[in-house]
Chains A and B, each alone.
Chain A
């Protein structure tokens, strides 16, 4: 069974969770044997930007040990053999250039999505 996860929501709880929960669960599902691919669209295309990162949060004396490393997490999926597609229209809309992004992404247009969806048994929209 092949699944395609289309990720649209971005930066919802990444600071509290130290991860993007959807990218995280896709890693976990891969570990459980799932055959899957990902599409980053809308604001989630920003997850492919290499230069992102934040200083660690501190509230009073409570210092965070690990911040979110979302781009590395996306690259990690690619490293595990998960195809990660990015909707190029959404990159352009957000002023993003290819050289700013992690490697080995698969560029698609928004109009390519229907054909891509057809190749998967389940299509989940996050």
Chain B
């Protein structure tokens, strides 16, 4: 079963809908699906260690694979070694891998 690729380009500082999208990711994981939440663009801002991003850490702890686009991190001066625990930097190629694998793909 391929699972879900959920790309998040928005951030909680700008979008009130960020929380609802993450809640969907959590719900899908709790329902037994493999979920990859791939943060891109400003979506990586809450991945910075120390940012107000309790939800992301909780998601990672609850079995969602949370990845942050290396390019977007670099663009914003966020070190891949200084991310919220449980979040990993990854090249955008991984998103294409998930697409090619047939994961149901959503973009927010």
Contact = CB atoms under 8 A, between A and B. Distances in A.
Interface string B1-34: 0001000000000000100100110011011010
B77 to A, nearest CB: 29
Interface residues of B, number: 15
Nearest to B24: A113
Interface residues of A, number: 17
Contacts of A118: 31, 33
Contacts, number: 36
A117 B28 contact: yes
A115 interface: yes
A66 B20 CA distance: 34
A124 B108 CA distance: 10
A110 B20 contact: yes
Given A122-B104, A125-B107, A114 B17 contact: no
Contacts of A110: 20, 23-24
B104 A114 contact: no
Contacts of B105: 123
A42 to B, nearest CB: 5
Nearest to A113: B24
Contacts of B94: none
Interface of B: 4, 17, 20, 23-24, 27-28, 30-31, 33, 104-108
Interface of A: 6, 8, 41-42, 110-111, 113-115, 117-118, 120-125
26 contacts: A6-B106, A8-B17, A8-B108, A41-B20, A42-B20, A110-B20, A110-B23, A110-B24, A111-B27, A113-B24, A113-B27, A114-B28, A115-B31, A117-B4, A117-B24, A117-B104, A118-B31, A120-B104, A121-B104, A122-B104, A123-B4, A123-B104, A123-B106, A124-B106, A125-B106, A125-B108
